[in-house]
Chain A
């Protein structure tokens, strides 16, 4: 019995021992499997990022959607997939952008307002909805940066806005013959789709959906000046009120932005001072372009420097002007300013009186002008959307205007809203550009002054711009409003274009037509941003990229004059956009820029 018991115990012990071994073995197997799984998962993640991206969803575009299909950011490491503003850093800005869009969508649902356009860039998990789950994914990446290269792209941030699949743009050197071009097309199996004569560029279909490698090869061809992917711009600006900003489109702002490359990448901001009612620093669509260091409330005594910085806009007029010149563009909110990148310096000089009206007493104006004068080295353009009719001079204001003009500050003022033939003061000062307002018909607004004296017309009717939200009385309360016809708005338009002009003008421009304070008239004399800026863009006339408009540049145009067989669009410099021929007018335009140094 005892033997049996002992035998049983031995067997039981052995079984238990084996059972432990089995358990341990099982744990080991599971652990190993998990490790193998994790390792393989990691490898698959890396594989996704190191493989060349293609048009995964066959939508004709290569963008973040494709990247997120290859490498879902919620399960794999893919910083570029969540870098929604393409600045290579995942930070709170990315979170805010998606959060704000998600909030807007929620608000729209609640109020049944028109739904904002779906934005795939913000749809981090590719589930066709931008909501808080996308925000949550981005938060997991905070602090990370986008490494180069990835997805077979030297700059994976090209995916943020995307580019067309199977598509490439080749710009040839001026001397490239048609035969040489055809040879390049054949070598890379490219099919021309369209040619852009004015920029000597051909758009072609490629066999590969991602043309990065081909792009590098083509760049080595001796007749090619540049080759690039067909990047995808968003619809000019995604500011929801863009379609209502008729003035921008009338003065050819879209062409100016993109043709003259003034879309917010100017290294040095042009600075525009606005003497007005102040500006709303808390406005969601304006704050980014309001100066953080320069502003002035002229009512406050200099012994209170902090209070001097209070330019709170109780009236809204100054905020409106600031919005025309520099509301934040392409931020999916509000309106688009004329400038993507500008520093607006508000000077509050108008205050409410006992009747509830806003007025700008001359002493306040003296303080404002003196402040501008003292800060002239930090000011490029001065907008004066105010005036007094029947006055032609004030010795002190004239003194400041003379001095500011001497220092190169562009002076812009409203002609007045009394339907007079003359302009108000200071618009009628000879050193100031007097601006009358025009409507949709490009003619004077009925109430515009300066009908026989204004230097230029600019859009001033039915202009939509920023207002402090507590003054926004319309149904949306979205911080933007329309204003009726006024030369104030028109002056702001000219100031905005003057700022754009400064952004592309050559360094130290002294020649009259390059100073940005004369505005080329068009049609009824209405402002035309593209025409104005086209002629001051130094690089356009420096065809050999020597940094100077030299004798080669002027001779290349002049020698082609009156010789159709030598026509090349690059040298068709007059009128704006070219007229298909090169003659003495082109030669004159070119020679008038001789010797200018480009930045």
Chain B
């Protein structure tokens, strides 16, 4: 005879399997997962995949693509293919870190706003509106310029502009979760409001926040690469994709210098968006509206 707990476990496992399978039924998500897997492999094994070192200079300056240099070489004779491969080690982990930071900061503030309500709520959310309202890149540029151009500061600058969306979604999630019967039930059985927040509410809002973070991963990558393109992020000689497109812009008739790093950004962002967009459909429509 199966105990109630076993039965619950079995049903839960089944539900997770179904959810997992349904992702495989979404062709865009599959394409996205494959591209991301490809980039993760490239980042992990970059020194073995790339035929040259990312900073290694040769006498072949601005050599067009050939068998020797698949993507050609740049203004210092560096192999563009090798730099693109190595670039995945900079852009991708930083984008993930950035989204993690922004989602933690935003969710915390939004969670506090939603849970405490009143004046704190007003203050936090009006501030979020303020940042949200502003053209992201102008604010990020001001922050990055003020802090001084470096990759770390570019990440911070993007976090500054990216957190409000998590705060907004988190707040509405907490507001609706607060009214749920299971939360009331836990309060009635003697849990304090803080216990209820951590053991009942937070686990139930983690899913939507994760989907939101996935949707935002593409944007984060674009912002980060954009700041580097403007010279406010990665500094030479680092093989950051946005900075590489910038060096292509300085020699725009050598199309290969800027084309390939840009394609790398496009493929990664597209993959993130394919995955995020496929998961968006699994969300509550009310939350989807809060996101877009």
Q: Are chains A and B native binding partners rather than an unrelated pairing?
A: no
